[in-house]
Amino acid sequence: MFSLPLRDDAQLRPLELWHAEEFAAHMDRAREHIRPWVGPTFVTDDLDGARATLRRYAERQAADGARLFGIWLDGVLVGGVLFAEFDAASGSCEVGCWLEPAAEGRGLVTEACRALLDWAFVTRGMHRAEWECRADNERSSAVAERLGMRLEGVRRECWPYGGVRHDKQLWAILAREWRARR
């Protein structure tokens, strides 16, 4: 019922608790691909974990905080975008994404993130939106660039994964910059 077409074969919709089975099946396809790039609490291993993740975001959304949206391609959940942080009082949010390999290279994440940023800046009056990613995640950095974000800095060796500490980039865009681009 509540969906935004990204293009003819793809939609952006709220990802809610009742999608737990579909989210768990999606995680089975995406898990190993996204594990190095997203927070460990997001990557679930079973249906109970999927429910817990969706419940956590539902509770945060109910408090006007983080939000979670799925990307459906030809009726199949293939990834999503989110407000990892959303603080209306400070006017700041953080946008993120994940996608299973079969859906990469179609521009779905960029379009979905544009919709989130439009809503954050235009509807909610946010002042600043951030994007964080591992410095070696070239696909994620490219999305931030396409969204018009600026690289503001690198946090050295702050992302532990697989026994190695990785650098993390911080990208951001301000409301006035977003409006000038749109």
What are the pLDDT digits (tens) for 43-87? Answer: 889 999 999 999 999 999 999 999 999 999 999 999 999 999 999
Using DSSP's 3-state secondary structure scheme, residue 181 falls into: helix
> Looking at the 3D structure of the chain, how many domains does it have?
1
Are 83 and 95 in contact by the 8 Å Cβ rule? The answer is yes
Angle at CA of residue 100, ends 116 and 20, nearest 5°: 75
Q: For position 78, what pLDDT does the model report?
A: 97
This prediction's pTM = 0.94
Using DSSP's 3-state secondary structure scheme, residue 138 falls into: helix
| Residue 15, domain extent | 4-181
Residue 1 pLDDT level (bands cut at 50, 70, 90): low
CATH number, domain with residue 68: 3.40.630.30
Nearest to 158 by CA among 50, 25, 51, 39: 39
Are 143 and 135 in contact by the 8 Å Cβ rule? The answer is no
Cβ contacts of 77 within 8 Å, gap of 6 or more: 15, 19, 22, 23, 25, 26, 70, 71
Residue 33 pLDDT level (bands cut at 50, 70, 90): very high
